[in-house]
Structure 1
Amino acid sequence: MRVCLIAPNYFPAENGNAVTVRRIERHLRLLGCEVRVFQVDKMAGEELLAGVKEFAPDLLHAFHGYHGGRMAHAIAEELKLPYLITLTGTDVYQALDDHRSFDTHAALKGAVRLVAFHAYVKRRLGEHLPSMEERTVVIPQGVELPSLPALPVPAQNEECTFLLPAGLRPVKNVLFPLQPLAALHALYPGIKLLLVGPVIDAGYAAEVMDALEQYPFARYLGTVGHDAMGNLYRSADVVLNSSLIEGGMSNAVLEALSHAKPLLVTDIEGNRSIIKECHTGMLYRDVGEFYRKAEHLATDPALRERLGQNGRSLVRDKYPPEREAEAYLELYREIVGLVKATNA
């Protein structure tokens, strides 16, 4: 099986789409697939078309209905190839309604299959495009399970480090935790906040940098390579997600769970698909709820340990990357079979 992955980002990008593409690529290769990745943000359309034509794949697999999907749609029409699209978040929640809607609709309608990370994304797509729901399959994200050193449970009232891994763009809402954590820091001086992630929206990033000057307990660490993120997860006590939307499953949330870290996350569909209240983490809806639950986590190391271990067990049992890649390979075979049957 020869597969072209049409990726909005790939390398050296460190955002969620890039992490997803690299993980799927790696595990497809382990299953014997010939895979080539074409990075939309680094290649002109003519160059991409020529590269795909030279590789002569059996099908195209695009990520994001707009960023990867519109390119896959154009190439597929030119080369008469089937394609599928993995929906990654803002394509379903934003690009179906904003100025990108025409291209996004065309790309989705041309795909043989669509993939959602969770059933609720499939349902939401069906609200916009009812005919697309029956062509959509659910394949959960996978996550690597790292080996972890044995660490003692920290004593009461020691320092508590909150880690917020997120690209700097408005949808990630990274300014939200600053004020409630500042109030907690006044009571518990050992509280710290570390923000890590690439600058995606320069204007929003400037707002974040200005705000951080008012909160000395918080630091922005910049972009950290995915391979180095493990050390940050291990050093953190609580991992945050403050996103306004998530397209099914945040890589950062899954990775935090794989490192046995408790989570405090916004009560949105994408986070609810993974986090169960007081079992693998905590969900918040407003500033007051965030403050109360952050204080509980900061002052109860036994709670942090229990939530973290539950989370690691969850991703070990339900989200292995091998299962994710096997599901994609099975889907590829189905698509190629459909095309052969149609052309027979």
Structure 2
Amino acid sequence: MKLLFLACLSPRTGNRTTARRISEYIQGSGHVCILRDIADFKSSSQVSDLISEEKFEAVLIIHLYKGGRLLKDSSVPYGVIFGGTDINEDIKDEKKHDVMGAILQKSRFLVAFTDQLKKTAELHWPFASSKIHVQPQGVVTKPCAKFNWGEFLQNSAWHKKEPWVYLIIIGPEVDRVFTQQVEAKVKSAYGVYLVSEKPQEELHAAMRDSFAVVNSSISEGMSSTILEAMDLNVPVLARSIPGNRAIVKHEHTGLLFFDPSEFVELSKRLISDTCLKESIVAKAKEYVEKHHSWNTEKESYQKLITNLL
């Protein structure tokens, strides 16, 4: 089968990593899977023309709205992988909600990363319940030997109160306006530094060599960064939102905070309580090995793809 896979493929983002991993699963089962960036298409007719020209037999998409809206003119079978934005944010917009509902009706299957995402989707579209499968993201980490922190820190001012504590923000620029706001804040913050995106193996090395990994998102489907930190034996401090609570159990596999002051309080506690840190790291590693197996994820997608034949 020749399959078109539509996803957000901005360089060095979680969406791209997830899409490439799933694409490899599909190709590993003997199918041809062509990855294309949603941003390359302005209308559903462009996707329909591509399907006809390239003779694609099926389509897989990540993000029910961003990808789904491009399938309105498509007649080939397709499957959908929910993201976080579609269920957490797009669902609040009436027009987007209607588009997503129409796409759900014709989909052969849907994948939710968590039980909570599935329950939310079922509340809005009960008719789709039997087609929604829960498959947590799998995780594989391959850090390089060493990450050079000195490049960023050797000439920097230390944090005023805790001179040995740094907060390093690493990632690509996705929204220029938001990036400018972050850059302005960072300039006036002691001990906080903004670093451009890095190749995955370097990012994993940076995570491995850090004291802890922080997730401060206000909306998540399932954070691959959290799972990677767990796999690398690094404790996680995450904002207490549904997507994070689905994979982080407070004081068991990580620490959850509601606001900046609680983040600082929990961070200091983690620094001073070695037993707590060691316990969290061990339980998180056990959790990720049990529930986020790369092989289990691969088998699930290879089985689901047969629904598109």
**TM-score w.r.t. length of structure 2:** 0.87
Q: Which whole-Å CA distance do the structure 1 matches of 2:80 and 2:116 have between them? A: 17
Shift of 1:27: 2.6
Task: Tell me how many residue pairs correspond in the alignment.
Answer: 297
Encode CA deviations 1:84-138: one digit per residue, 9 max, x unaligned. 1111011111112225333333222332222111111111112222222232111
Q: Which whole-Å CA distance do the structure 2 matches of 1:83 and 1:272 have between them? A: 30
Shift of 1:285: 1.9
Q: Which whole-Å CA distance do the structure 2 matches of 1:16 and 1:73 have between them? A: 26
Shift of 1:67: 1.1
Q: What amino acid maps onto 1:31 in structure 2? A: S
**Which residue of 85, 90, 94 maps to 1:90?**
85
Evaluate the alpha carbon distance shift between residue 145 and residue 16 of structure 1 in structure 2; reply closer, same or farther with a 3 A threshold: closer
Q: What amino acid maps onto 1:3 in structure 2? A: L
Partner residue of 1:196? Answer: 170
1:1-344 equivalences under 5 Å are: 1-7=1-7, 9-10=8-9, 13-43=11-41, 45=43, 48-74=47-73, 76=74, 80-98=75-93, 100-146=96-142, 185-247=159-221, 249-336=222-309
Which stretch of the first structure deviates more once superposed, 112-121 or 124-133?
A: 124-133
Shift of 1:302: 4.4
The answer (yes or no) to whether the contact 1:2–1:59 under 8 Å persists in 2 is yes
Which stretch of the first structure deviates more once superposed, 83-92 or 132-141?
A: 132-141
Which stretch of the first structure deviates more once superposed, 294-303 or 203-212?
A: 294-303
| CA root-mean-square deviation | 2.5
Which stretch of the first structure deviates more once superposed, 297-306 or 133-142?
A: 297-306
Which stretch of the first structure deviates more once superposed, 272-281 or 82-91?
A: 272-281
Shift of 1:48: 4.0
Equivalent residue of 1:67, what SS?
coil
Equivalent residue of 1:65, what SS?
coil
Shift of 1:147: 7.2
Q: Which whole-Å CA distance do the structure 1 matches of 2:46 and 2:196 have between them? A: 32
Which stretch of the first structure deviates more once superposed, 129-138 or 97-106?
A: 97-106
- Taking only the aligned residue pairs, the percentage that are identical comes to 27
Encode CA deviations 1:279-320: one digit per residue, 9 max, x unaligned. 211111233322221111123344333322322232222212
Evaluate the alpha carbon distance shift between residue 146 and residue 315 of structure 1 in structure 2; reply closer, same or farther with a 3 A threshold: farther
Which stretch of the first structure deviates more once superposed, 288-297 or 92-101?
A: 92-101
Runs of 4+ in structure 1 over 6 Å off: none
Encode CA deviations 1:232-257: one digit per residue, 9 max, x unaligned. 1112111011111211x111111111
Equivalent residue of 1:279, what SS?
coil
Q: Which whole-Å CA distance do the structure 2 matches of 1:31 and 1:111 have between them? A: 21
Equivalent residue of 2:89, what SS?
helix
Evaluate the alpha carbon distance shift between residue 317 and residue 148 of structure 1 in structure 2; reply closer, same or farther with a 3 A threshold: farther
Q: What amino acid maps onto 2:59 in structure 1? A: L
**TM-score w.r.t. length of structure 1:** 0.79
The answer (yes or no) to whether the contact 1:265–1:282 under 8 Å persists in 2 is yes
Evaluate the alpha carbon distance shift between residue 65 and residue 52 of structure 1 in structure 2; reply closer, same or farther with a 3 A threshold: same
Q: Which whole-Å CA distance do the structure 1 matches of 2:64 and 2:170 have between them? A: 27
Evaluate the alpha carbon distance shift between residue 289 and residue 216 of structure 1 in structure 2; reply closer, same or farther with a 3 A threshold: closer
